[in-house]
Amino acid sequence: MVGDLYSPPAPKRRVDRATWEREIKPVVTSLEACDEQVAAAALVTLRLVLPSYRQITDEELRASALRNSASTRQTLTARRLPSDKELGEAAVAAAERADQGVYVQDMLTAYRLSIHQIREFIVEAANAAGCSPAVTLEMVQLLWALADAVSVRLATVHRDTEIDIARHGERQRAEFLRGLVFGSVAPAEIRRLGPAFHLTPDLRYVALRGRPSDGSTAQDLVRAIGAACRAVGHHAFVDVLEGDVVGVAPRTPAIARCPGIVGVGPPADLTAIEPSFATASRVLEVAERFGEPGVYRLEDLSLRVAVAAEDELGELLVTRYLRPLEKLGGRAGSVLETVAAFIEHGLSVKATAEALDVHQNTVRYRLGRFEELTGAVLERPVCAFEVWWAMQRQFFSGDAPELPGATPEGDL
Tens-digit pLDDT profile for residues 232-243: 988 999 999 989
| CATH number for 366 | 1.10.10.2840
Name the residue type at position 401. Answer: P
- Segment 274-283, tens digit of pLDDT: 999 999 998 8
- Segment 189-240, tens digit of pLDDT: 888 888 888 888 889 999 999 999 988 999 999 999 999 999 898 899 999 9
Q: What is the DSSP letter of 325?
A: G
Q: Using an 8 Å Cβ cutoff, are 326 and 336 in contact?
A: no
The reply to whether 281 and 353 lie within a common domain is: no
The reply to whether 53 and 155 lie within a common domain is: yes
**pLDDT band, residue 313 (cuts 50/70/90):** confident
Judge residue 267's burial from the number of C-beta atoms within 10 Å of its C-beta, 0-12 exposed, 13-18 middle, 19 or more buried: middle
Is 266 part of a structural domain of the chain?
Answer: yes
Sequential DSSP letters for 237-284 = EEEEETTEEEEEESS----TT-SEEEEE---EEGGG-HHHHHHHHHHH
The reply to whether 321 and 287 lie within a common domain is: no
The reply to whether 282 and 382 lie within a common domain is: no
**Total number of domains constituting the chain:** 3
Judge residue 70's burial from the number of C-beta atoms within 10 Å of its C-beta, 0-12 exposed, 13-18 middle, 19 or more buried: middle
- Of 251, 75, 256, 375, the residue nearest 264 (C-alpha): 251
Is 180 part of a structural domain of the chain?
Answer: no
Is 156 part of a structural domain of the chain?
Answer: yes
Is 102 part of a structural domain of the chain?
Answer: yes
The reply to whether 321 and 388 lie within a common domain is: yes
The percentage of the chain sitting over the pLDDT mark of 90, rounded to a whole number, equals 47
Is 179 part of a structural domain of the chain?
Answer: no
Range of the domain at 14: 2-166
| CATH number for 140 | 1.10.490
Q: Using an 8 Å Cβ cutoff, are 375 and 361 in contact?
A: no
Is 192 part of a structural domain of the chain?
Answer: no
- C-alpha 73 chain-centroid distance: 46
The reply to whether 287 and 331 lie within a common domain is: no
Q: Higher-confidence residue: 139 or 316?
A: 139
Q: What is the DSSP letter of 232?
A: T
- Segment 119-129, tens digit of pLDDT: 999 999 999 99
Is 84 part of a structural domain of the chain?
Answer: yes
Of 120, 148, 166, the position where a domain reaches its end is 166
Judge residue 45's burial from the number of C-beta atoms within 10 Å of its C-beta, 0-12 exposed, 13-18 middle, 19 or more buried: middle
The reply to whether 12 and 132 lie within a common domain is: yes
The reply to whether 368 and 288 lie within a common domain is: no
- pLDDT at residue 179, as a whole number: 92
Of 260, 283, 301, the position where a domain reaches its end is 301
Judge residue 15's burial from the number of C-beta atoms within 10 Å of its C-beta, 0-12 exposed, 13-18 middle, 19 or more buried: middle
The reply to whether 142 and 47 lie within a common domain is: yes
The reply to whether 223 and 75 lie within a common domain is: no
The reply to whether 260 and 365 lie within a common domain is: no
Q: What is the DSSP letter of 12?
A: P
Sign of the CA dihedral with 160 first, then 163, 164, and 165 last = positive
d(C-alpha 63, C-alpha 337), whole Å: 82
The reply to whether 289 and 336 lie within a common domain is: no
For the segment 143-164, the average pLDDT, to the nearest whole number, is 87
Is 384 part of a structural domain of the chain?
Answer: yes
